Amino acid sequence: MPEAPPPVPALTERPKLAPNVRGALWMLASALGFTVMTTLIKFLGSDYPAALQTFYRQAAGLLVLAPLIVRDWRGAFHTTRPGILFFRSAVGTLAMIFSFYAFQKLPLAEANALSFTRTLWMVPLAIFVLREKTGPLRIGAALVGFVGVLVMLRPGAADHGFGLGQLASLASAAMFAMTITGMKVMTRDHSPFTLLVWSAALGLVFSIPPALFVWRWPEPLDLMLLAAMGVFGTITQACYIKGMQIGDAGAMAPIDYSRLVFTTATGFFIFHEIPGWATIAGAAIVVASTLFITIREQQLARQARVSSGE
């Protein structure tokens, strides 16, 4: 008897994308959401100070998460270490205010490039806070990255002063590095959703006092834009977490730097910003060093899993 023909796959079946491809798509969505958010921050910055924008960002983010929180509010807020969550949220709120101020005052390309220094700040935090063993390659890459920062800032240059915008951006990156370090500790017994909920809820509480000092009631159109900024901020954070969960960290890190391309293009076409040679060269050094650190960390983690027999 002739062999039966192979079964024809159903028309509804579609080949599944590889995890890194799906993760990359989530990371691109995060980069696009981030670009929209920072564009709105800069557009609204002349009328709404950074502290007030942070309040609306946190309020809109909490509203987006509210339907998910209501389903299981006990589980969403369950924690065994509230102290670390309070500290992390307080530092994160202050970091967000500084970050918003930097995006208001600096060209989008420069502010975005400086924001990536959070990976560099995590090296000394890993050494002194997490007590991690850090090799000379990782320390050297961090030092090279900070050289890139100096290239961007050009301290002492007559045509480019080191101002409050640059200082705010670096301070924000250092504080965000602290929150990421805290997240590494908390993810051992907390879900990413729980951390996101606590961050949104406490972030709103901590953002109220500084917002009151610069309070003004927004016009209806501005309120819609402020709400959109908050929604896109939450979408950015959620897509980033999802992308990192699905794909390998070493493969996802280069995709995250697409933010530089998007924000530079937005700055050029909308705000008529042209990045100088120092910004481009310094950003390239920072990106290369942070990429090296990220990929190196993943390789070491993989080696540790193999040696432990996982």
pLDDT digits (tens, 9 = 90+) for 183-193: 777 777 788 78
pLDDT at 6: 57
Domain locations in the chain as residue ranges? 20-305
CB neighbour list of residue 91: distance below 8 Å, 6 or more residues apart: 175, 178, 179, 182
CA distance 206 to 202: 6
pLDDT at 18: 82
Q: How confident is the model at residue 140 (pLDDT cuts 50, 70, 90)?
A: very high
CA distance 260 to 57: 22
pLDDT at 111: 94
pLDDT in tens, 259-275: 999 999 999 999 999 99
pLDDT at 302: 76
pLDDT at 12: 52
Question: Rounded to two decimals, what is the model's pTM?
Answer: 0.87
pLDDT in tens, 93-131: 999 999 999 999 999 999 999 999 998 998 888 888 777
CB neighbour list of residue 39: distance below 8 Å, 6 or more residues apart: 108, 266, 270
Element at 8 (helix H, strand E): none
* 240: nearest Cα among 40, 95, 31, 39: 31
pLDDT at 301 over 80: no
